[in-house]
Structure formats: C-alpha cells, structure tokens
Amino acid sequence: MLKDHLKQVEDNIAKACARAGRDRSEVTLIAVSKTKPVEMLQEIYDEGVRTFGENKVQEICEKYEQLPRDIEWHMIGHLQRNKVKQVIDKAALIHSVDSYRLAQEISVQAQKKNLCMPILIEVNIAQEESKFGIFADDTIQLVEEIAALPNLEIKGLMTIAPFVTDPEENRTYFRQIKQLSVDIKNKNIDNVSMDVLSMGMTGDYEVAIEEGATMVRVGTGIFGARNYANK
C-alpha cells in the first residue's frame, strides 16, 4: 500500500518536473514520517527512500537508533535551543532556523562536535500569525548575521505555505520565496549558497516544483493521515 502511494507521489513529481522543464534529479523527496512507526519507515526505505523528515528531536533520536545508518534525517520542525545538542550529529539538514539565537546555539554545538552544520532559514512567507519563521523583509539581514557564525553553512530557504484547498493559491508565495532566494544568492555572502529551496507539502508540492522547489516534504501523501491521538 505504501509502495503504491510512493509510486503515485514519484509519478507526480516526475510530471511536475517535466512541466517545468526541470530534471528529476533537481528535486529531493523528503518522506515526512512524524508520528509513524519505524515499520512504516522501513517499508519505504526498502523501496529506496533514504531521506526522512521529522519535526521532533526525540522522535529523530529514537528512529535514528532503530533504522539503517545510511538514512538522511531532516529536522523540519520548530527547534528549541536546549535540544540542539541532541540532534546536531544526527540531522543532515536543519530546515527551521528562524532566529539568531537558535543559529548561535547550533554553531556552538557544531563546534563542540567539530562539524559544519548545514541549515535553512525558515521564512513565514504569508506572514501567518500561527506559524514560525521570519518575515521575508527581515530575511536578508538575518542571513547576513547568521552567515558570520562559525561551523554552520546556510544552504537555502524553507517555507510552510498556508493550508489551502486549491494549491494554485500558494503559487504566488512560492514565487516570492524563490525570488527572495535569488536576491540573497546575488549578494554573494560567504557561507551562503541558496542551492536549496524547501517548499511544498502533500497539498501543493507539484506547484512548488513548478516554481523552483529543490526539496518537497511529503507526509500524508506517502504514509496516509496522521493520528495524533494514538501517539
């Protein structure tokens, strides 16, 4: 069953890439496995998926211990500073950096482990009160400040678009953040590459790919609906 869902998502990604004249290799599918048991992750792993997204540090740490080591774990949820220490050597990429203080803690912990941590800056592109992330207008300044910290590397931007029934409604937001990433890239800031644009979820990943996403984060579309009550 999961295999069929995955096939469908893969098929949709390939078609969106074709529509946009992009190569399939430009887009990474992140299987968002939060709340799902390791058996389900293993099933998708057996189909070749190696990139998983989680939004809780504890869940990454538990699943990290139980599943094969060639998995790339992406931290996509809000990250508290006191939990950075636990996740710093397990996550391949932290998508959710939205303050200087958080970046500073990542830098400190990365120095202790003698590694260079790749991060994305989370942008609240639609300025929704319910969401984390920095506003677009403040992003360039924050990028410049964070880029000066040692042992981290800003790889790009991430956004969670509004929850909509028609994904076309989010196209304008995806365009805005793509433009923002181009503007930042053109500033040629040290330690800042803007190669990654993490946007698009189950409801809107095809539109996101058409507008330049290089990582899409798909949960429900692969694993089915989440039941938080059972957690």
Output the smallest distance, CB 207 to ligand PLP, in A: 13
The residue whose two tokens read 């698009």 is 200
Nearest 10 degrees: Cα torsion 48, 49, 50, 56: -150
Output the smallest distance, CB 112 to ligand PLP, in A: 27
CB 177 within 8 A of CB 159: yes
Span 81-140, contacts to ligand PLP by CB under 6 A: none
Distances 187 to 106, 176, 181, 192, 226 between C-alpha atoms, Å: 24, 17, 10, 9, 41
Span 180-219, contacts to ligand PLP by CB under 6 A: 201-203, 217-219
Q: How many CB atoms lie within 10 A of CB 162?
A: 15
* Interface with ligand PLP, residue 51, by CB under 6 A: no
Output the smallest distance, CB 77 to ligand PLP, in A: 5
Among 32, 106, 134, 136, binds ligand PLP (CB under 6 A): 32
Residue placing its CB nearer to ligand PLP in the complex, 156 or 221: 221
The residue number with the shortest CB distance to ligand PLP is 219
* Interface with ligand PLP, residue 177, by CB under 6 A: no
Among 118, 133, 212, 221, binds ligand PLP (CB under 6 A): 221
Among 13, 29, 44, 55, binds ligand PLP (CB under 6 A): 55
* Interface with ligand PLP, residue 160, by CB under 6 A: yes
Distances 137 to 2, 121, 154, 176 between C-alpha atoms, Å: 40, 13, 18, 11
Output the smallest distance, CB 190 to ligand PLP, in A: 28
* Interface with ligand PLP, residue 220, by CB under 6 A: yes
Strand partners, 32: 53
* Interface with ligand PLP, residue 156, by CB under 6 A: no
Residues engaged in binding ligand PLP (CB under 6 A): 32, 34, 55, 76-77, 160, 201-203, 217-221
